[in-house]
């Protein structure tokens, strides 16, 4: 009980501290021409604004997460025992990711799913970048305005179809009796159908496709502002096309590349639909495990712990990559 109560009090305390600091600041550096928030908006309207924003920030954004954090440090208990003597703070849920509480063996299945999800997301990000960079470059620098508009439309319109329908459509294409296999067998490239879904091709294709726009637009934004003359200057100085991209375009677009890759990586690591519909039967995506804890075994604490392990790992990985490529976090959200 006490720890859960603490969670609800914590944000209030933090806000109070910030408010006190702000008051002190405005007293110290008093600007007579500056009107205070209440002077500008009137007292009653000001109070309504503040309450609304506070409600949103506290109840809809901060508290749910904090609640989940706290939950993940508690044992799973039937409702009657919650807040009772057995409801103690524990790291058992986090430990259960590494050591299976049932047989005290290393939790191979979950660790494998975790590593696989991360690596597969890295692969998806790389694939996505390889597909999107030429598209973004074409749209930003090479294409004529009319063709670029058509291309953009072609990219955006498929996203009007909802995610599950899109995943199923891909599944139909890639299934062993699907269109692609029929075609391959028809022209005699293969005797037996290729199991695109079983070997996870479907998963990679589906995930890459799902987050195409998330990659294209940051890249496009970054490349678009590059002065064409710089590309021509490099070319004039004798650089072949790939050196122009390596030395001029990519360094310039680095913030966009970082932000696109970060988003695609985070989204695919946390995606649920595509892995479920397009992954092979033996493929276990980490988010599916989290999902099952919440909705199959109603083990919220363990689900929350797993979710935070994934979140922490993803953030750490992204930070590492940003550090490696010398991009600051601020640049990626420019």
Partner 1 sequence: MSAGVELDHVTVRFGHFTAVDNATLDIKGGEFFSFLGPSGCGKTTILRTVSGFLDPSEGSVRIGGQDMSGIGPNKRPTALIFQNLALFPLMTVADNITYGLRVRGVSRAERDRKAQELLDLIALPDQGKKLVSELSGGQNQRVAIARALAVQPKVLLLDEPLSALDLKLRQHMRNELRAIQKQVGITFIYITHDQGEALTMSDRIAVMSDGVIQQVADGKTVYDNPDTPFVASFVGENNPFIGKVSKADATGAVIETPFGPLRGRNPKNLKSGDKAILFVRPESFALGKGAPDATLTAETISSAFEGNATHVFLKGAAVKNITMTVGRHGGAKIPGPGDKATISYDPAMGVVLAEGKMARE
Give the residues lining the site for partner 1 (CB under 8 A): 227, 229-230, 232-240, 243, 247-248, 251-252
Q: How far is the CB of 234 from partner 1 (least distance, A)?
A: 7
231 or 263, CB closer to partner 1?
231
2 or 229, CB closer to partner 1?
229
Contact partners, residue 32, CB within 8 Å, separation at least 6: none
195 or 331, CB closer to partner 1?
331
249 or 264, CB closer to partner 1?
249
Q: How far is the CB of 181 from partner 1 (least distance, A)?
A: 43
Q: How many CA atoms lie within 13 A of 185 on its CB side?
A: 14
Which 3 state secondary structure label does DSSP give 99? strand
Q: How far is the CB of 247 from partner 1 (least distance, A)?
A: 7
Q: How far is the CB of 236 from partner 1 (least distance, A)?
A: 5
Query: What are the contacts of 103-112 at 24+ separation with CB within 8 A?
Result: 109/284, 110/286, 110/289, 110/306, 112/284
108 or 238, CB closer to partner 1?
238
90 or 225, CB closer to partner 1?
225
Task: Compute and round to an integer the Cα radius of gyration of the chain.
Answer: 26
Q: How far is the CB of 226 from partner 1 (least distance, A)?
A: 10
Q: How far is the CB of 256 from partner 1 (least distance, A)?
A: 14
Q: How far is the CB of 145 from partner 1 (least distance, A)?
A: 15
Q: How far is the CB of 323 from partner 1 (least distance, A)?
A: 18
Contact partners, residue 279, CB within 8 Å, separation at least 6: 197, 200, 202, 203, 285
- How far apart, in Å, are the Cα atoms of 49 and each of 42, 45, 248, 296, 324? 11, 6, 47, 41, 43
Contact 134, 121 (CB under 8 A): no
Contact 93, 261 (CB under 8 A): no
Which 3 state secondary structure label does DSSP give 106? strand
Total residues belonging to the chain: 334
Produce one character per residue of 198-220: b if its CB has 16 or more CB atoms within 10 Å, e if not. Answer: eebbbbbbbbbbbbbbbbbbbbb
Contact partners, residue 285, CB within 8 Å, separation at least 6: 113, 116, 117, 271, 272, 275, 276, 279
Contact 21, 14 (CB under 8 A): no
76 or 235, CB closer to partner 1?
235
Q: How far is the CB of 328 from partner 1 (least distance, A)?
A: 14
255 or 303, CB closer to partner 1?
255
34 or 228, CB closer to partner 1?
228
Q: Which DSSP state fits 200?
A: T
DSSP-assigned letters across all residues of 261-303: HHHHHHHHHT--HHHHHHS-TT---HHHHHHHHHHTS--HHHH
């Amino acid at each position: 009980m006490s720890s859960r109560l603490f969670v609800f009090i914590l944000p209030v305390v933090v806000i109070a501290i910030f408010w006190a600091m702000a008051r002190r600041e405005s007293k110290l550096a008093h600007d007579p021409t500056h009107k205070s928030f209440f002077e500008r908006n009137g007292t009653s309207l000001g109070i309504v604004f503040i309450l609304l924003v506070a409600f949103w920030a506290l109840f809809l954004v901060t508290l749910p997460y904090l609640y989940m954090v706290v939950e993940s440090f508690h044992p799973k208990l039937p409702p009657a025992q919650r807040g009772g003597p057995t409801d103690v703070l524990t790291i058992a849920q986090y430990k259960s990711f590494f050591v299976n509480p049932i047989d005290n063996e290393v939790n191979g299945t979950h660790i494998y799913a975790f590593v696989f999800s991360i690596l597969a997301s890295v692969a998806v990000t790389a694939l996505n970048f390889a597909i999107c960079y030429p598209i973004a470059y074409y749209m930003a620098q090479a294409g004529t305005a009319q063709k670029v508009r058509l291309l953009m439309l072609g990219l955006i319109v498929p996203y009007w179809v909802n995610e599950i329908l899109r995943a199923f459509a891909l599944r139909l294409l890639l299934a062993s009796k699907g269109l692609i296999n029929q075609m391959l067998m028809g022209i005699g490239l293969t005797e037996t159908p290729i199991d695109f879904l079983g070997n996870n091709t479907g998963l990679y294709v589906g995930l890459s496709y799902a987050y195409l726009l998330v990659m294209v637009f940051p890249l496009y934004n970054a490349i678009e502002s590059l002065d064409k003359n710089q590309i021509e200057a490099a070319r004039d100085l004798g650089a072949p096309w790939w050196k122009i991209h390596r030395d001029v375009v990519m360094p310039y677009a680095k913030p966009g590349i970082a932000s696109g890759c970060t988003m695609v990586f985070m989204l695919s690591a946390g995606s649920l639909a595509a892995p479920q519909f397009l992954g092979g039967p033996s493929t276990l995506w980490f988010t599916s495990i989290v999902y099952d804890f919440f909705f199959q075994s109603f083990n919220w604490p363990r689900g929350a712990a797993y979710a935070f392990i994934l979140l922490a790992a993803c953030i750490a990985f992204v930070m590492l990559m940003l550090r490696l490529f010398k991009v600051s976090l601020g640049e990626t959200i420019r």
